[in-house]
């Protein structure tokens, strides 16, 4: 009798079929790129990039201003934190301007365009009045406000050109006049040249280059034909060449592009010592406060050449971080300008992005020896309240425009506070509900459980 020892019939085991093939594992790089692409496409990406990027640049700039300006302040028999305290005051005022600009409606921004332009032109003309205007480093573009405070009206001229130019082009687009080249150029180009003339009367060619870049950005966004664009660019190039040839100081700055020696007369001293500062930083720098070049070797260490001190103290990692923050800020501005249907928002966002990006490229390119030294500060980073205040107001514009996108507005409206009172359907506030594990667990029990 066949069977098991226990007398039970043998158990027949099921025959296993072939194992199902496992799905192929997804490439981690593909998965990472997919997640990054989804994150870039979110409605609030531009809003967070502008807000977070500008905040990080400003905070890091305050740290570097404090580090780079200590020796200069002590050499002037001032407290070591003198320049830092002034920059901190300007940052606090600028934060208020940023918040106000980010909460203003578009109509109010457009209404402010003409008053800001008129005020900027008046102050820029006032600079040339003897006894009122003052010269700093050979450029007479400043007005003394009393004590140690000064203001540079040409910095506000950039903001004025962006707002007024955007409002002008938007109104002409609504009337479908931009197809005619006369309406595209007049009065935008004459007013821009008027601002350039007032700036160049003081000898500040660096700020003039930024204003020219803003003008070209507005014309590009308005759809200027290639021939018209090239024509305006040719006129600007001729004027720039004449201005450069008429000044030995400007010619020396062009000769110092890529210089590795200071020259017999020391004309390339600043450019060469900026390269020395970057070269001695290595990958991670010598540490905050440990710069050697700021001890009198590098002129304007806390203003125009603060990027060089950043490279010496924070190394390649610090400079690449600054570049990444400016790249993110520029990308977010382009995205805001490209996704809006409002012509004023498109022109204003594009003008602000052109302004900040062009100024950052010119400043960093000069420190790296790739461009002539133009004497313009690094936006949001270098010391200077006159440059910081209008720039932070412009950042507030970008934040307001990013919040005003339809998708971003819907995403912000769907948000609810994680803690606190939740609004009911009728708008009345119910009791406070705390989403803790203990409350959820107690709510899941029946009345008889203990």
**Dist CA 168 CA 189 (whole Å):** 11
Query: What's the confidence (pLDDT) of residue 227?
Result: 85
Query: What's the confidence (pLDDT) of residue 14?
Result: 57
Residue 31 φ then ψ, to 5°: -65, -40
What DSSP string runs through 257-284?
TT--S--TT-TTHHHHHHHHHHHTTTTT
CB 256 within 8 A of CB 271: yes
Predicted TM-score (pTM) of the model is 0.85
Can you list the residues of the chain whose pLDDT is less than 70?
A: 1-26, 416-450
Place of tokens 């050979």: 138
- How many residues in total does the chain contain? 450
Tens digits of per-residue pLDDT, 269-293? 999 999 999 999 999 999 999 999 9
Alpha helices in 4-105 (DSSP H): 28-40, 45-75, 82-103
Tens digits of per-residue pLDDT, 202-220? 888 899 999 999 999 999 9
Query: What's the confidence (pLDDT) of residue 242?
Result: 86
CB 102 within 8 A of CB 108: no
Query: What's the confidence (pLDDT) of residue 304?
Result: 94
**Two tokens, residue 7:** 């007398």
Give 332-336's long-range contacts (Cβ < 8 A, gap of 24+).
332/45, 332/46, 332/47, 332/49, 332/50, 332/53, 332/398, 332/402, 333/46, 333/50, 333/357, 333/398, 335/45, 335/46, 336/46, 336/50, 336/398, 336/401, 336/402, 336/405
**Two tokens, residue 389:** 């205040």
């Amino acid at each position: 009798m066949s069977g098991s020892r226990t007398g039970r019939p043998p158990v027949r085991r099921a025959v296993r079929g072939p194992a199902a093939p496992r799905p192929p594992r997804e490439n981690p790089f593909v998965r990472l790129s997919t997640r990054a692409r989804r994150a870039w496409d979110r409605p609030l990406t531009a809003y967070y990039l502008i807000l977070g990027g500008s905040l990080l640049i400003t905070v890091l700039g305050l740290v570097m201003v404090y580090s780079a300006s200590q020796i200069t302040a002590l050499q002037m028999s001032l407290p070591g934190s003198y320049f830092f305290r002034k920059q901190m005051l300007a940052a606090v005022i600028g934060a208020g301007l940023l918040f106000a600009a980010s909460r203003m409606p578009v109509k109010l921004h457009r209404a402010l365009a003409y008053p800001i332009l008129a005020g900027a032109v008046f102050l820029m003309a006032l600079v040339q009045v003897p006894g009122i205007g003052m010269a700093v480093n050979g450029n007479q573009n400043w007005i003394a406000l009393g004590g140690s405070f000064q203001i540079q009206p040409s910095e506000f001229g950039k903001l004025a050109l962006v707002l007024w130019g955007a409002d002008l082009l938007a109104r002409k687009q609504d009337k479908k006049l931009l197809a005619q080249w006369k309406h595209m150029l007049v009065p935008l180009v004459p007013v821009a040249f008027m601002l350039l003339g007032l700036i160049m009367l003081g000898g500040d060619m660096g700020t003039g280059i930024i204003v020219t870049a803003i003008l070209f950005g507005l014309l590009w966004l308005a759809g200027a034909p290639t021939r018209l664009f090239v024509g305006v660019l040719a006129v600007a190039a001729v004027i720039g060449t004449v201005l450069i040839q008429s000044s030995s100081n400007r010619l020396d700055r062009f000769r110092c592009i890529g210089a590795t020696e200071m020259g017999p007369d020391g004309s390339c001293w600043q450019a060469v010592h900026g390269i020395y500062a970057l070269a001695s930083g290595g990958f991670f720098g010598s540490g905050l406060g440990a710069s050697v070049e700021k001890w009198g070797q590098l002129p304007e260490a806390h203003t125009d050449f603060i990027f060089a001190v950043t490279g010496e103290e924070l190394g390649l990692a610090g400079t690449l971080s600054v570049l990444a923050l400016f790249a993110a800020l520029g990308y977010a501005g382009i995205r805001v300008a490209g996704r809006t249907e409002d012509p004023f928002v498109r022109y204003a966002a594009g003008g602000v992005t052109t302004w900040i990006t062009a100024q950052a490229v010119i400043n960093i390119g000069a420190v790296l020896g790739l461009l002539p030294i133009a004497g313009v500060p690094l936006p949001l980073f270098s010391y200077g309240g006159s440059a910081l205040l209008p720039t932070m107001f412009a950042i507030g514009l970008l934040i307001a425009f990013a919040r005003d996108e339809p998708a971003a507005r819907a995403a912000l409206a769907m948000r609810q506070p994680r803690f606190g009172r939740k609004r009911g359907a009728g708008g009345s506030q119910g009791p406070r509900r705390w989403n803790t594990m203990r409350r959820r667990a107690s709510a899941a029990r029946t009345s008889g459980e203990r």
